[in-house]
Amino acid sequence: MTVSALLRELVLRAVDARMLDERYPAHRAMTLLIVGELARRETPPLDLPSPVSVAARRAAQLLAAGEGGGGTRALAAEVGLSPRTLERRFIVETGMSIARWGRQARLQQSLRLLAAGSPVKAAAEAAGYAAPSAFVAAFRAALGKTPGRYFAR
């Protein structure tokens, strides 16, 4: 998780205090600042929550391995559920639709490849994009920067 310098220092101060107590004005102020800083984070979270149920977990494994390209209907058939049941389970268990979860998984994989020095074209192919330009556009939409600028910092 990317955090601002202010949020980092606030968290360290809160850890020092061991527990923030609303009876103290300084603690109330720190709590408000922490919540405010978390709300304005520039980089969206890259969390990828794991489903709990066996069928949804199997579907997530297939998606992460790039084997879920046949759509929700094919994925649901593979794990023995109806498409609607699988979609509902994914939303309840992860807070994300199957499509969003799959995009997030592919984005994480592409980030690992780019961080290891792979070219954008290889990361785009691994993420399932037909053209690097489409991958760069999706990367920018998700992270606010192109891959080059994201890794330049």
The predicted structure's pLDDT at residue 67: 73
Q: Chain-wide mean pLDDT for the chain?
A: 87
Q: What confidence score (pLDDT) does residue 71 get? A: 85
Q: What is the pLDDT of residues 3-25, one digit of tens each?
A: 677 888 888 888 888 888 889 89
Could you please report the per-residue DSSP string of 109-128? HHHHHHHTT--HHHHHHHTT
- Cβ–Cβ < 8 Å for 33, 6: yes
Phi, psi of 138 (to 5 degrees): -65, -40
CB 105 within 8 A of CB 142: no
DSSP helix/strand/coil, 1: coil
Q: Which of 40-54, 82-96, 127-141 has the lowest mean pLDDT?
A: 40-54
pLDDT reported for residue 2: 61
pLDDT tens across 23-44, in order?
989 899 989 988 888 877 655 6
Most distant CA atoms of the chain, gap in Å: 57
Q: Is the pTM of this model over 0.75?
A: no
Which tens digits make up the pLDDT trace of 120-146?
999 999 888 889 999 999 888 888 889
Please, are residues 128 and 144 in contact by the beta-carbon 8 Å criterion? no
